[in-house]
Chain A
Amino acid sequence: MSTTRRITVTALAVAAGMTALAACGSGGSGGDKDPKTVTLVSHDSFNVSKSVLAEFTEQTGYKVDVLKGGDAGKAVNQAILSKGNPQGDVFFGIDNTLLSRGLKEGIFSPYQAKGLESVPAELQLDQAEHRVTPVDYGDTCVNYDRAYFAEHKIAPPETFDDLLEPEYKGLLITENSATSSPGLAFQLGTVAKYGESGWQDYWKKLKANGVEVVDGWEQAYNERFSGSAAGKGKGDKPLVVSYASSPPVEVLGKKPEPKEAPTGVAAGTCFRQVEFAGLLKGAKNEKGGKALLDFLLSKKFQEDVPLQMFVNPARKDAKVPELFTKYGRKIDKPETVAPEAITKNREQWIKQWSSLVLK
């Protein structure tokens, strides 16, 4: 017996042992589903209070396993690729920019969740078939650094048009539409505002007014934006594309609580994203999945949403915490684009944007 073969035998034994272990592992959490577990597939930003989740288990007897698979786009694509043999029972986190891709691929089974009557009609984008249930919404808007504008005695911008004014020249940092979801949302906002024929013209002017682009939100917000506490005021841009909920987060952990957040939101530059959940076709625990969807719309979960995911609950009657009402800004007229139009034109719009702004 040669040395190599000897080692091979030993190693094969080790490997066999490992495979056995792996089999045990998957038997416990996946594979043969123990019907007491319901699996929620989501993106990395999904969060819930452990105590709220425990209440669901108490009420229904189902334990929730959460599988997180990268950012929203990736998670949706994973769900599409594993269509028919899904990784879990419920998918949470498909938003209106990706919705029609998911619906076209037919990854969801219809189910009308309890509590839907408390959700405003404008959030119910699949009202006819109920393949998806709206769970929350949030706005992507330009944020501004209050200190900068106070110091320079300029009023901060409010609308898309304002951003073209000479006093805001070279002040805005935004994200690459192709690689960042707030970047894309901001672009879609301009498409909604200026229409298919006008948005490119708007961006030409914005570019002439010195807009700068980086690849990701982290760089734009943490490194370049002068209003983010993370950057310790070292950032060189007082305007950044971020979320309407960013100002409340800037206040988190501050003692004593300031009177207003150090950053503000330009309400006329917002694009609304609605996030949906749906029962996955081929779910192993359909009953548990339906119970979970009801739970996602329950007041208990809805009131937990703002401080966990920093978005707004879909239910009208869910109470929003003081942090949001005091430091956040309610956006009354956000821009929005129909999901079908987004899916149809997304790639083309991004390409046009890239050649317009990056080159």
Chain B
Amino acid sequence: MALPLAFFALFFAYPVAAIVGRGLKDGGQWQLGRAGEVLSDPDVLHVLWFTVWQAAASTGLTLLIALPGAYVFARFEFPGKKLLRSVVAVPFVLPTVVVGSAFLALVGRGGVLDDLWGVRLDTSVWAILLAHVFFNYAVVVRTVSGLWGQLDPRQEEAARVLGASRWGAWRRVTLPALGPAVAAAALMVFLFTFTSFGVVQILGGPTFSTLEVEIYRQTADFLDLPTAAVLTMLQFAAVLALLGLHAWTVRRREATLTLVDPAQTVRRPRGAGQWTLLWGTLVVIVLLLVVPLAVLIERSFAGPDGYGFTFYRALQSAASMDSTFAVAPLNALWNSLAYGAAATLIALVVGGLAAAALTKRGGRLVRGFDALLMLPLGVSAVTVGFGFLITLDEPPLDLRSSWWLVPLAQALVGVPFVVRTMLPVLRAVDERLREAAAVLGASPWRVWREVDLPLVRRALLVAAGFAFAVSLGEFGATVFIARPDNPTLPVAVARLLGRAGELNYGQAMALSTILMVVCAGALLALERIRTDQAGEF
């Protein structure tokens, strides 16, 4: 537990505390009067209210749409399943500006729906909610189906033999077992939507604003650190309250479960009901996730003289390569992959250790730590970025222009995923298995390798996939950390979009498509490892 604590203290708590402290203290005087002023501002209260309710609505809608998907992925075998599982995670890596533009093409003015039926959803709450489902579908599917696939279906069958109805068996047997995973997924979706920034800005227009948007404006545009600090504290308080609520609901439901090889539980769907469910899920995925992605791919090929590779060639052309603006796509790709891999490694080590420590020990202190690890999801990237700037500036910690700063910042967002994905599985491992192994003479390391690792390997890979996707797409903190010029793909996309002209726009679409393909490819590779090992239970 020492390492996760140290990591968290050094790269999160210290920088954030420093920037908030600077805001609240002016010339050695605490500016607490400012807090009252900000908190009684009706505009701020309005923003807070909107932030909470849109996050709650988004979370509810995402669970509603994605839980059947989680079931389908956990229990059914169908062709193209692995590819589809990788595709649903792609939205994670795409810059919000790009996704926003795809959504506008579908539901905006002159969009497909507008042309066909005169339906327009831009600058409405519906567009925001739909985009949130688009982004977070994978969170629910991947977190929940990982555990679901390992639950022994025979328990439910036993309950039915004993006379329970299908629904009753599910409610009494499966749901409690899934509880922690569903709660973890819901929590993450809530935190993501609670701190939503780009989606709200682009699809909501200037009339909707979240707390995160306000913090960003106060910090980055006005440099009004006191107001930003008060708002950050407010966001902190809200997130902590939420984490407390979460801990309270989950604690009573965690139980040791019989985990089985997921290969035993999947089968082809049987009967009309199951086929309908499968097809329904596929239709939802295609409409909600694949169509917006396809729009981007289409645009990357739609050159000035018809479809072709014009924009891809422009990315490579010698003329543009003489500028420091242009980034060779391979270069940006390599940067993204290197940062992503390093961030994933850090997140796995830190998050894995934290999850292991949290499984073994109880007590209030440990539970508090559990909550703390989630906080980075609830804190604005601009706060962390400015915090890094003013704290990590003295040797031996002068990391401001270090290569490691980017993966460290990205790992902060990856760690909560690793912890949340591994914890339900680790806690579900029967302690007696470990004891039995120890009694038979296995060393602790061996116990971990032979008992825990095979059971959590799956969760570990799911977690790695998440951490990697999050790092690959991370924009807020990455763009903020000044470094010798080696931008990642999302940063390069944003730069291209900031310029006029068809060529720049097309190149942005081409780079986004590359980002998409790389992400899907990397996740597909992880899927392969995951099934290769499945027989080892």
Contacts and interface: CB of A to CB of B under 8 A. Distances in A.
28 contacts: A1-B444, A4-B1, A6-B444, A8-B353, A15-B7, A18-B346, A26-B401, A26-B402, A29-B401, A44-B491, A44-B494, A44-B495, A50-B323, A66-B484, A66-B485, A67-B484, A70-B220, A70-B480, A78-B482, A81-B386, A213-B206, A215-B202, A216-B97, A219-B101, A230-B504, A246-B500, A252-B503, A253-B503
A348 to B, nearest CB: 11
Contacts of A18: 346, 404
B445 interface: yes
Interface stretch (A125-133, A151-159, A220-228, A269-277): A220-228
Contacts of B382: 74
Interface stretch (B102-110, B149-157, B231-239): B102-110
B349 interface: yes
B356 A69 contact: no
Contact of A179 (B206, B207, B350, B505): B206
Contact of B482 (A7, A15, A41, A47): A41
A22 B406 CA distance: 11
A310 B444 contact: no
A345 interface: no
B395 interface: yes
Interface string A73-90: 111011011100101000
A82 B393 contact: yes
A52 B87 CA distance: 43
B499 interface: yes
A74 B404 CA distance: 21
Contacts of A8: 1-3, 353
Given A3-B448, A179-B221, A222-B505, A30 B402 contact: yes
Nearest to A85: B393
Contact of A12 (B3, B402, B483, B503): B3
Interface in B446-494: 447-448, 452, 479-485, 487, 491, 494
Residue from A4, A29, A48, A65 with most neighbouring chain B CB atoms (10 Å): A4
A347 interface: yes
Interface in A178-235: 178-179, 213-219, 221-224, 228-230, 232, 234-235
Given A49-B322, A179-B206, A78 B498 contact: no
B501 A230 contact: yes
A251 B502 CA distance: 9
Contacts, number: 219
A53 B495 CA distance: 20
Contact of B222 (A68, A222, A347): A347
A229 B501 contact: yes
Contact of A234 (B110, B353, B395, B481): B110
A2 interface: yes
B362 interface: no
Interface of B: 1-3, 7, 97, 100-101, 104, 108-110, 201-202, 205-207, 217, 219-224, 302, 304, 314, 321-325, 346, 349-350, 352-353, 356-357, 360, 382, 386, 389-390, 393-396, 398-404, 444-445, 447-448, 452, 479-485, 487, 491, 494-495, 497-506
B482 A23 contact: no
Given A4-B1, A41-B482, A48-B324, A81 B389 contact: yes
Interface in A67-115: 67-71, 73-75, 77-78, 80-82, 85, 87, 101
Residue from B324, B398, B501, B505 with most neighbouring chain A CB atoms (10 Å): B501
A14 interface: yes
Residue from B7, B302, B324, B480 with most neighbouring chain A CB atoms (10 Å): B324
A286 interface: no
A3 B447 contact: yes
A250 B503 CA distance: 8
By Cβ-Cβ distance, the 7 closest A-B pairs, closest first, are: A230-B505, A229-B502, A69-B482, A67-B482, A47-B325, A253-B503, A22-B404
